Structure 1
Amino acid sequence: MWKPDRSTRKPIYQQITDYMERRISFGEFPPGSVLPSERKLANLLGVNRSTVVLAYEELRASGIVESAQGSGTRVTKHKWGLTPKQTPNWKTYVEGGTFLPNLPFIRRIREELRKKTGIIDFASGELSNDLFPADTIRSLLQEHPFLGQLGYEDPQGYRPLRQTLVSFLEEHLQIQSTDASILITSGSQQSLYLITQCLLSPNDAVAIEDPSYSYSLPMFQSAGLRLFRLPVDEHGINPEDIITLYRQHRIRMIFLNPNFQNPTGSIMATERRIRLLEIASELGIPIVEDDPFTLTALDGNPPPTLKSLDKTGNVLYIGSLSKIAASGLRIGWLLAPQTVVDRLTDARQQMDFGLSTIPQWIAEQFISEGHFENHLKTLRRELEKKRNEMVRGLQTIMGDYMSYTLPQGGLNLWCKINREVDDFKLLDEAIKRGVLFVPGSVYGSDQGHIRISFARPHFDEILPGLSYLKEALDIHCK
């Protein structure tokens, strides 16, 4: 948010006048639109209301805005009076289009993270900066000069990286693949986007977990898909529910996160996995396995992936470095039959001509030289410390306010608030005290659940953050 510069000689009201004039001329406030009230703009800019009054008077004197009793201050229909030039009404464009904006809660959380420093972040589902392998990446760049070409890369992805992933996935997750069956993407999100846009059609029925990270992604609604939910308990989804949904709605695809599920942290039971694969094979329904967390298993023994158990080729497997190494590299991968990879590669080329070679080269070096494996050992140890500190804080600070299930991997705790709460009001109280979380309703859950990340905050922020959250609950639940 722009703020007046108090170190210059230019009067603050004149700075505000110029700022608002620029916003009007750029079309942020189209002709006829209402400007923020004097009081609201003063609060946003951190100035006295009288300063904004002077600024608005300047704009009125220039013929740029006009005021009427009871209707506020508006941009004049024909700015600067003489030539009736029309600025596009960007508001109608912004509200148009088929790609929907993020949910209001998500936008609110991201806005607070952008504008506030020092806020304790229990909301972001990523690692804290001290858990990124930054020193290793710097060393790789210094010790191994990049010798690749800087033209467009193969849109399917840098082949040495795909070849390295074949070995890595087989060794660590028992997943069989070939480099031709792997598409490199800019994270899991792009894999999901390509699948929804290229393999499904508007009005197709798909099944997602309940609660589910997928529920928070407007891309599903933007693609015109009909979402049907599969309830998740401590052992994952019940595969028999898929038969019911198929009979009722002819679902065409299933989206699952079976290991350390986001947001609940649950692990699908082995017998359920086997039955799920049997049902999917019998009905001919593809399963999209989104797997960001399996390698975070705190005991170092990752549960099996659906892909490793898949004998009939029903599973499309999505993996990524974002949650467990470096989100800024934007490296993900999708394993699929060759025909699917070809289709998605073609679409990917139309979108961006393929990912930059340099981050793919870094990722290949990071994995092939054993750095990723060493990083995972350190990561598991540090995540376990943070998880235990979060649990200790919940026990000593929250008391009977919250209940939870202890996750054995992943980055988050799924908590139930044992009081009646309003998600929006509770988040608002928490923000006032300098702490963020994700309300459960973002994932399709009923109110009264929250997801708190133990991976994103630094270790010494966890207990203070829980104390602030307890204060917010005390105020809200009076």
Structure 2
Amino acid sequence: MFKIDWKPDRNDSTQLHIQIMRYMKDKMASGEWPVDFKLPSQRTLSEIFGVNRSTVVTAIEELTAEGLLKGNTGGGTRVINNTWTLMSTEHSHNWNPYISSGVHQANQRIMQQINDAEFQSDMIRMGSCEPSPELIPSKMIHKTLEKLSKSMKPLGYEEPKGALHLRKEICVYLKTMGIEADPDSVLITSGVLQALQLISLGLLHTNSVVYLEKPSYLYSLRTFQSFGLQLSGIQLDEEGIDVNELISRHKRRKGSMLFSIPTFQNPSGNVMSLKRRKMLINACDLEQLPIIEDDVYRELWLDEKPPPPLKAFDKNGLVLYTGGISKNLCPGLRIGWVVGTEKVIERLADIKMQTDYGSSSLSQNVTAELFSSGLYYQHNDIMRKNVRIRRDVTIRALKKYFTGMATWNIPAGGYFIWLKLNGGISMHELFIKALSRKILVFPGHLYEFQSNDHIRISYSYVSLEEIEIAIKALSELVAEQLG
């Protein structure tokens, strides 16, 4: 399905038709607009880009003159060349048809921009959901590596489910939150996102319906959609996902699974109540609706411990429990896990062996040592203290600059504040203008279709000084649009 989620920036000194030309060239070079791709009509493009039709005509005429486009009477305008062949003096194989026909969908254009911006050293990252470098316990990890270097066996491949000593340590850890698990029911993954990919590949089929909370960070990715799965959003309230709406929807659509982040949900920060967790487990058990539980933010509680995971109430192997250390310890180690019935874990382990032959042996050994030595648990106490400070500074800045313009939750944990503006604005314009001021934010429409009044604010990566600077600048940009 054709989609454009970009508009030229009227505050940019570059002429509008040149911005449009650059955008179109980028689409052609990336393979999203392959040779013989038919462009929408000039009128449609002018509406999408928010410019006069004459501006679109000028851009198309210049691209036609450059040999990239060709107009046919009654046949519209089509791509006839790409920047690779134009820039190369020798013959180069045309990979564009392969790029455009690959199974995995490309990220939304805005997510590609976000991914690029996150690696700009001067960017204030008010959207990133990872710990800042100063929160990562580098000294602790270095000392662990030094200790392991004296006793660690050669780094060969681990068994399909992952290093046994790490899986044993994870079982000990899971028991502290009420989950009884055997090492054979645990699979080590390269983060939670890989766990979701394995589940999609191994347990679901094309056109399967996956229920998820609305809003949800999964709308910003292509993890499920690339495998031909359909997403169906269920509304959240203060206590968590609306179980009645879920079951009513399920009776009509007969979905395959529910994906849920019951603890410090992304992006809302919502914590599902104990009562709602039990209600959800009972309802899904009755309907035989499996649950994928993403519990990656659990250790980031700031005020009081959250209720036990859904998996702790699971008596019939209904819940696939996912967790990891990327959010609270070190994203670079790339260690996560899935807990489920042994048969399911064997299926996922088999697929993982076919894709990457196992997660990093070094990372698994480091993580196992951090657990067994108790350093992991000590670090979490320090982490919570530092993140709590960041959250409180952000709340104070919001009170100072956004009072009267927005409302917000005070998260009990996690990294996010789900800011609700008092009126709708152009999220694309806000995103672009914030970027021009070297501030990265995640607009609400990434998490909920057509949401134009929410912004996800993250306080995990930025410094305390940057929080004040960024919130003040954002308030000015929002005020311009709200009038």
Given the two structures, how large is their TM-score scaled by the length of structure 1? Answer: 0.82
Residues 1:273 and 2:277 aligned together: yes
* Letter of the structure 1 residue corresponding to residue 225 of structure 2: Q
1:397 Cα deviation after fit: 1.5
> Against the structure 1 CA distance between its residues 308 and 418, is the aligned structure 2 distance closer, same or farther, given a 3 Å change threshold?
same
1-structure distance, mates of 2:273, 2:146:
45
Give the match for residue 390 of structure 1: 394
> Against the structure 1 CA distance between its residues 398 and 87, is the aligned structure 2 distance closer, same or farther, given a 3 Å change threshold?
same
* Letter of the structure 2 residue corresponding to residue 243 of structure 1: I
Residues 1:436 and 2:440 aligned together: yes
SS at match of 2:179: coil
1:94 Cα deviation after fit: 1.7
> Against the structure 1 CA distance between its residues 274 and 74, is the aligned structure 2 distance closer, same or farther, given a 3 Å change threshold?
same
Q: 2:419 aligns with which of 400, 415, 418?
A: 415
Q: 1:362 aligns with which of 359, 366, 381?
A: 366
Give the match for residue 195 of structure 2: 191
1:242 Cα deviation after fit: 2.1
SS at match of 1:95: helix
Residues 1:105 and 2:98 aligned together: no
1:366-397 residue CA offsets vs partner (Å, 9 max, x unmatched): 11101111111011111111000000000012
**Range that drifts further, 328-337 or 310-319:** 310-319
Check conservation: 2:217, 2:267, Cα contact below 8 A: yes
1:26-50 residue CA offsets vs partner (Å, 9 max, x unmatched): 99999999xxxxxxxxxxxxxxxxx
* Letter of the structure 2 residue corresponding to residue 370 of structure 1: G
* Letter of the structure 2 residue corresponding to residue 216 of structure 1: S
1:155 Cα deviation after fit: 2.2
SS at match of 1:183: strand
Give the match for residue 462 of structure 2: 457
> Against the structure 1 CA distance between its residues 74 and 257, is the aligned structure 2 distance closer, same or farther, given a 3 Å change threshold?
same
Check conservation: 2:160, 2:358, Cα contact below 8 A: yes
User: Identity percentage over the alignment?
Assistant: 33
> Against the structure 1 CA distance between its residues 141 and 80, is the aligned structure 2 distance closer, same or farther, given a 3 Å change threshold?
closer
**Range that drifts further, 184-193 or 196-205:** 196-205
Residues 1:346 and 2:346 aligned together: no
* Letter of the structure 1 residue corresponding to residue 417 of structure 2: L
1:151 Cα deviation after fit: 2.1
Give the match for residue 51 of structure 2: none
2-structure distance, mates of 1:374, 1:423:
40
1:251-291 residue CA offsets vs partner (Å, 9 max, x unmatched): 11110000111110111122211111111111111111011
Residues 1:212 and 2:207 aligned together: no
Residues 1:164 and 2:144 aligned together: no
Check conservation: 2:293, 2:319, Cα contact below 8 A: yes
* Letter of the structure 1 residue corresponding to residue 244 of structure 2: E
Check conservation: 2:32, 2:99, Cα contact below 8 A: no
2-structure distance, mates of 1:327, 1:251:
32
Give the match for residue 93 of structure 1: 98
2-structure distance, mates of 1:319, 1:139:
25
1-structure distance, mates of 2:250, 2:305:
34
SS at match of 2:403: helix
1:444-467 residue CA offsets vs partner (Å, 9 max, x unmatched): 252110101011111221101111
* Letter of the structure 2 residue corresponding to residue 220 of structure 1: F
1:151-198 residue CA offsets vs partner (Å, 9 max, x unmatched): 222121111100111111112x12110110000000000000101111
Check conservation: 1:295, 1:302, Cα contact below 8 A: no
> Against the structure 1 CA distance between its residues 25 and 298, is the aligned structure 2 distance closer, same or farther, given a 3 Å change threshold?
closer
Q: How many residue pairs were aligned? A: 417
Give the match for residue 250 of structure 2: 246
Check conservation: 2:158, 2:358, Cα contact below 8 A: yes
Check conservation: 1:254, 1:285, Cα contact below 8 A: yes
* Letter of the structure 2 residue corresponding to residue 442 of structure 1: L
1:206 Cα deviation after fit: 1.7
2-structure distance, mates of 1:263, 1:26:
30
SS at match of 1:202: coil
Aligned positions of 1:304-343 closer than 5 A: 304-343=308-347
- Gaps of at least 5 residues in structure 1 are 1-23, 34-67
Give the match for residue 65 of structure 1: none
* Letter of the structure 2 residue corresponding to residue 88 of structure 1: H
1-structure distance, mates of 2:382, 2:256:
40
1-structure distance, mates of 2:32, 2:212:
38
**Range that drifts further, 147-156 or 267-276:** 147-156
1:225-272 residue CA offsets vs partner (Å, 9 max, x unmatched): 122111012211111122211211011111000011111011112221
Q: 1:153 aligns with which of 158, 167, 171?
A: 158
2-structure distance, mates of 1:417, 1:434:
21
2-structure distance, mates of 1:324, 1:427:
27
Give the match for residue 16 of structure 1: none
Give the match for residue 374 of structure 1: 378
CA RMSD of aligned residues (A): 2.7
* Letter of the structure 2 residue corresponding to residue 312 of structure 1: N
* Letter of the structure 1 residue corresponding to residue 142 of structure 2: R
> Against the structure 1 CA distance between its residues 243 and 87, is the aligned structure 2 distance closer, same or farther, given a 3 Å change threshold?
same
- Gaps of at least 5 residues in structure 2 are 1-27, 38-60, 69-79
Give the match for residue 71 of structure 1: 64
